[in-house]
Homo-oligomer: A and B are copies of this chain.
Amino acid sequence: MRVEFSPDEFKVALATSVVVFGFDGENLKTLVAKKMGQPFEGAWIIPSCIVRATEDPAYVANELLTRITGQSDWMLEKLNGFAEPYRNPVGRVINIAYYCTIRLDEALEHNLKKEGYTWVPSNAIPRLAYDHNEIMEYAKERLKRRVKRRPIGFSLLPAEFTLNNIQRLYECALGKTFDKRNFRRKLLKSQLLLETDQFIRSSERAKRPSRLYKFNEKKYRTLTLKGYDFVYQ
């Protein structure tokens, strides 16, 4: 029975990666960067970082995101530990991966650019180094599940948005399409949205402007407290 650790069992290294999802009103996308240094120099990777043996990966991941985005206090959700041997050619490295969602804005975009990060559409992820494609798929599945149970719009949409925006977001995240009338009915019935009296043109092509809505955060909080399940399949 192997239950006692001897000193030479302590030979593994830790890393953390964070899958970041954003939504531009049209498409769901995720952050990647070009890997610097060997191995895999120049390959695409998910934002990642070494974790020292004394550190908490959640803390390190938070620091990493803060540097990348210029914003702090992230609601990171843990994805999993990726632990296959040989996933890293340098040695045995365990990756503790997280994901989060983010609202896009200009300051953010500026910071991302400065730090060398790029958005790629989450339905067309390029080949990534290590097992990062696996981590990415895992994150997409998790987001899907999340979307089915909780209205995620809060964290991905701007403060005001159209019903078409949010429908599009759900369609991207779940990889299917919905009937406009049924979607609206369901969403409005939930009372999670508040009508504003603002209108916006959703694209160049659109002639008629569409109404802006915002989230009813109070309603959302009371509902989640009661163990509300949104359940959009």
Find A81's partner among B56, B81, B85, B90 (CB 8 Å cutoff): B81
Q: How large is the interface on A (under 10, 10 to 19, 20 to 34, 35 or more residues)?
A: 35 or more
19 A-B pairs besides A3-B49, A9-B53, A81-B81 with CB distance below 8 A are A3-B48, A5-B88, A10-B11, A10-B12, A10-B91, A11-B13, A12-B14, A12-B53, A14-B94, A54-B85, A54-B92, A55-B85, A57-B83, A78-B80, A80-B81, A81-B94, A81-B96, A94-B94, A94-B96
Tallying the copies of this chain within the complex gives 2
- Taking a contact as CB atoms under 8 Å apart, the answer to whether B54 and A83 are in contact is no
Interface residues of A in 65-109 (CB under 8 A from B): 78, 80-85, 88, 90-94, 96
Which chain B residue has the least Cβ–Cβ distance from A56? B85
Task: Report the Cα distance A233→B80, complex, angstroms.
Answer: 25
